[in-house]
Chain A
Amino acid sequence: GAVVSQHPSWVICKSGTSVKIECRSLDFQATTMFWYRQFPKQSLMLMATSNEGSKATYEQGVEKDKFLINHASLTLSTLTVTSAHPEDSSFYICSATGRTSGNLDTQYFGPGTRLTVL
């Protein structure tokens, strides 16, 4: 149990275009989802927290107009990188917590999405 999927796993786009990344909890209801960014050989950096049906809470320094987060249902959250530029190239990871067969207070992670902006 507690499986989180992410799609796509790898995306290449041109500078100036927008990219949407989906995060789904497959076998549990995710009341809270988190979006992280990870640079090579570094730890995870929290970008934002989203609760189902409410606006996302962004960490300091994260542009909310650039990284649009929607958590429309208990199983789906999306991250849209708007007007992407090469500096947005990174590995993006989502995670979810909620009512699972396991623990309520544990984050389960998706496999990540590698974004490359040309």
Chain B
Amino acid sequence: AQTVTQSQPEMSVQEAETVTLSCTYDTSESNYYLFWYKQPPSRQMILVIRQEAYKQQNATENRFSVNFQKAAKSFSLKISDSQLGDTAMYFCAFMWNNAGNMLTFGGGTRLMVKP
């Protein structure tokens, strides 16, 4: 079974600064996807970034980028130039290709961006 661990229950960052959220996972599979989802106070789950395991290049989406270390089974999210609207719960998630698109979520990291 796959597991996803987010070791930082809560984090805070000053507006305009950079913050990195950690995520590790455990799997014996080689083909899979990794995701970061954001859940703001509205509770709408929003896809932040997606990474295919077979791609060595780290995914980026504007101010969001990941550091994907496949051998170490690590998938951290870096948020640059943090904005107040980035305040949210962030979930790391794992999807195995042969599991019918099911997601395994980490416990989440609550990020507070301070003005």
Question: Which A residues contact B (CB, under 8 angstroms)?
Answer: 32, 34, 38, 41-44, 46, 49, 51, 91, 93, 95, 97, 103, 105-109, 111-112
Assembled-state Cα–Cα distance A107/B47 (Å): 8
B residues less than 8 Å from A41 (CB atoms): 110
Of B17-25, B66-74, B78-86, B97-105, the one touching chain A:
B97-105
| Cβ B42 vs Cβ A111 within 8 A | yes
| Cβ B102 vs Cβ A43 within 8 A | no
**How far apart are B92's CB and chain A's nearest CB, in angstroms?**
10
Interchain pairs with CB closer than 8 A, number: 50
Q: Considering only CB atoms, which chain A residue lies closest to B96 in the complex?
A: A105
Q: Using known A-B contacts A91-B43, A93-B45, determine if residue A43 contacts B101 with beta carbons closer than 8 Å.
A: no
B residues less than 8 Å from A42 (CB atoms): 107-108
A residues less than 8 Å from B46 (CB atoms): 109
Assembled-state Cα–Cα distance A44/B100 (Å): 17
Assembled-state Cα–Cα distance A105/B44 (Å): 19
| Cβ A105 vs Cβ B97 within 8 A | yes
B64 within 8 A of A: no
